[in-house]
Structure 1
Amino acid sequence: MGFCNSCGQPIIKEDYGTNKDGSLNPDYCKDCFQDGEFTEPDITLQEMIVRKTKEMMEKNPDLAETQATGITAMFIPGLKRWNPEFQDDYKTL
């Protein structure tokens, strides 16, 4: 099992997104990446952090918002979609 390099959720093969040629893309989940493109190309890093923080808190009601925000704010910016070191990788898919 890996993690989606856009939203950070755990993914298995059934959750993989797809490239332009229809092949599976193990870097991104099907919610974030389909047919070689991001499903929400205009979402910002901050918006993704807020969304994933809310989802984490819904799944873990005892988790404080500051803790959830700290986790997502540390993890998500390092993923391929958000890390400038990887920006060229997804443009060629």
Structure 2
Amino acid sequence: MEERKFCQCCGMPLDRLQDAGTETDGTPSADYCRYCYQNGGFTAPDATMDDIIAFNLKFNAENGHPMGTQEEAEKMMRSWFPTLKRWKEV
């Protein structure tokens, strides 16, 4: 079974090719989603990990808590996001 891929910025599943961001030459990004990365750069280059977590928590609340309660979702993101490529060295 193939390992599931996730955006290395926001954690969004990259299950479909159309969910991938794009490199400068238009090819799909192997690491980032279309919301975080377009044309070879981050769509919010100054965003911090806390900004992305806050955005995801807003999405979680607006969409019926697919990531669990706000407290559970935040705890999960705070433990997982530092391991993602964009935040690893921050």
* Class of the TM-score when normalised by the shorter of the 2 chains: 0.7 to 0.9
- Structure 1 counterpart of 2:70, one-letter code: E
2:86 aligned residue: 81
Q: Which one of 63, 72, 76 corresponds to residue 77 of structure 2?
A: 72
Preserved contact between residue 7 and residue 52 of structure 1 (Cα < 8 Å): yes
Q: Could you list the runs of 5+ residues in structure 1 that have no partner in the other structure? A: 88-93
- Structure 1 counterpart of 2:35, one-letter code: D
Give the root-mean-square deviation of aligned CA atoms: 1.9
Q: Could you list the runs of 5+ residues in structure 2 that have no partner in the other structure? A: none
1:21 aligned residue: 25
- Structure 2 counterpart of 1:54, one-letter code: K
Q: Please give the residue correspondences for 1:39-54 in structure 2 after superposition, counting only pairs within 5 Å.
A: 39-54=43-58
| Structure 1 residue 51 displacement after superposition | 1.3
TM-score by length of 2: 0.81
Q: Which has the higher helix share?
A: 1
CA distance in 2, matches of 1:49, 1:80: 15
CA distance in 2, matches of 1:67, 1:6: 19
Name the count of aligned residue pairs: 85
CA distance in 1, matches of 2:65, 2:44: 27
TM-score by length of 1: 0.79
